[in-house]
């Protein structure tokens, strides 16, 4: 079950050389995604590296991004504690976010009954506001088992499972948008891009791709080994040729 439909881009969070949010670059990314016709933009997902961002900075960017964006903004409210997620939810509601994206608390591992109680307590305390979507991020938090998801959705507190938010749509929104027309024919392009992105630490390839498209994303969050730096040079060369083909296909999709 998923209530979020269409092309939803999981946006990276641009940083400056001091590792602070680069608001100007973030607005340029939002403009780029809106021009490409995405159906929504998800901020502060795992792709946005939310665990490393201060809550005040997240709230400020979200407030300004909602005003800037022509597409609905979906607010990731993941945090280490229930209280922190509730606070982020209140800020997102006040900012005008279209929906809340709630993963389990990060850092520690939890049993499934702990995760269920976390979500139920969140729903009990959050009050009225934007719809709440469950986000399963096993690469960052405890995986949510299918039975747990089904049980939570059965309560009626949650709008669905946000399982179609795409990191590829951040770097290549034209391709994800074109999938509506002929998904079978274009799926190979998505798999090619995914193959490359999985060869690097998270967000590295996305930031490199966006940089090649003239967008600033800031420094990588971790240094690369010499071997992976060489591989990244290969990716950059591959991406430029691949993107040219994708753009031609997207025009006719």
Task: Kindly report, residue by residue over 5-48, the tens digit of the pLDDT.
Answer: 677 999 999 999 888 999 999 999 999 999 998 999 999 999 99
> Is 8-166 in CATH node 3.20.20.70?
yes
Residue 174 pLDDT > 70: yes
pLDDT at 249: 80
Kindly write down the DSSP assignment for every residue of the chain, as one continuous string. -----S-EEE----B-TTSSB-HHHHHHHHHHHHHTT-SEEEESSGGGTGGGS-HHHHHHHHHHHHHH-SS-EEEE---SSHHHHHHHHHHHHHHT-SEEEEPPPBSS---HHHHHHHHHHHHHHH-SSS-EEE---TTTBPPPPHHHHHHHHHTT---EE---EESHHHH-HHHHHHHHHHHHHHHHHHHHHHHHHTTSSTTHHHHHHHHHTT----S-SSPPPHHHHHHHHHHHHHHHHHHHHHHHHHHH-
Percent of the chain with pLDDT over 90: 80
Of 15-19, 56-60, 109-113, 201-205, the least confident:
15-19
In sequence order, the 6+-apart residues with CB closer than 8 A to the CB of 201 are: 220, 221, 222, 224
Kindly write down the DSSP assignment for every residue of 89-149, as one continuous string. HHHHHHHT-SEEEEPPPBSS---HHHHHHHHHHHHHHH-SSS-EEE---TTTBPPPPHHHH
Across residues 141-167, what is the average pLDDT? 94
pLDDT at 62: 97
pLDDT tens-digit series, residues 213-229 = 999 999 998 999 999 99
The confidence band for 180, taking pLDDT boundaries of 50, 70 and 90, is low
Compute the half-sphere exposure of residue 50: CA atoms within 13 Å on the CB side of its CA: 33
pLDDT tens-digit series, residues 115-133 = 999 999 999 999 888 999 9
Query: Could you tell me the residue ranges of all domains in the chain?
Result: 8-166, 174-252
How far apart are the C-alpha atoms of 85 and 195, rounded to whole Å? Answer: 33
How far apart are the C-alpha atoms of 83 and 72, rounded to whole Å? Answer: 25
Beta strands 132-134 and 160-161 are parallel
Across residues 72-77, what is the average pLDDT? 97
How far apart are the C-alpha atoms of 209 and 215, rounded to whole Å? Answer: 9
pLDDT at 4: 66
Structure tokens belonging to residue 163: 């399982």
Mean pLDDT comparison of 91-95, 124-128, 248-252, highest-scoring range: 91-95
Residue 185 pLDDT > 80: no
pLDDT at 2: 42
Residue 3 pLDDT > 60: no
pLDDT at 1: 37
Specify whether the CB–CB gap between 44 and 66 falls below 8 A.
no
How far apart are the C-alpha atoms of 250 and 253, rounded to whole Å? Answer: 5
């Amino acid at each position: 079950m998923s209530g979020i439909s269409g092309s939803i881009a999981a946006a990276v969070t641009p940083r400056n050389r001091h590792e602070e949010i680069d608001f100007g670059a973030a607005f340029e990314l939002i403009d780029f995604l809106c021009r490409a016709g995405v159906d929504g933009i998800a901020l502060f997902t795992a792709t946005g590296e939310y665990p490393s961002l201060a809550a005040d900075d997240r709230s400020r960017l979200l407030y300004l991004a909602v005003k800037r964006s022509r597409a609905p903004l979906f607010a990731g409210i993941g945090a280490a504690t229930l209280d922190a997620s509730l606070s982020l939810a209140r800020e997102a509601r006040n900012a005008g976010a279209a929906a809340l994206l709630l993963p389990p608390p990060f850092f520690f591992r939890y049993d499934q009954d702990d995760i269920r109680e976390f979500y139920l307590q969140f729903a009990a305390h959050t009050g009225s506001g934007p719809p709440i979507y469950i986000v399963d991020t096993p690469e960052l938090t405890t995986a949510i088992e299918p039975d747990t998801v089904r049980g939570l959705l059965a309560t009626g507190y949650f709008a669905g499972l946000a399982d179609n938010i795409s990191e590829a749509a951040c770097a290549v929104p034209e391709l994800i948008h074109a999938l509506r027309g002929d998904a079978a024919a274009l799926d190979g392009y998505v798999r090619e891009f995914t193959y490359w992105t999985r060869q690097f630490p998270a967000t590295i390839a996305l930031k490199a791709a966006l940089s090649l498209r003239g967008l600033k994303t800031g420094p990588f969050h971790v240094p690369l080994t010499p071997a992976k730096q060489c591989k990244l040079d290969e990716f950059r060369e591959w991406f430029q040729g691949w993107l040219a083909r994708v753009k031609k296909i997207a025009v006719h999709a």
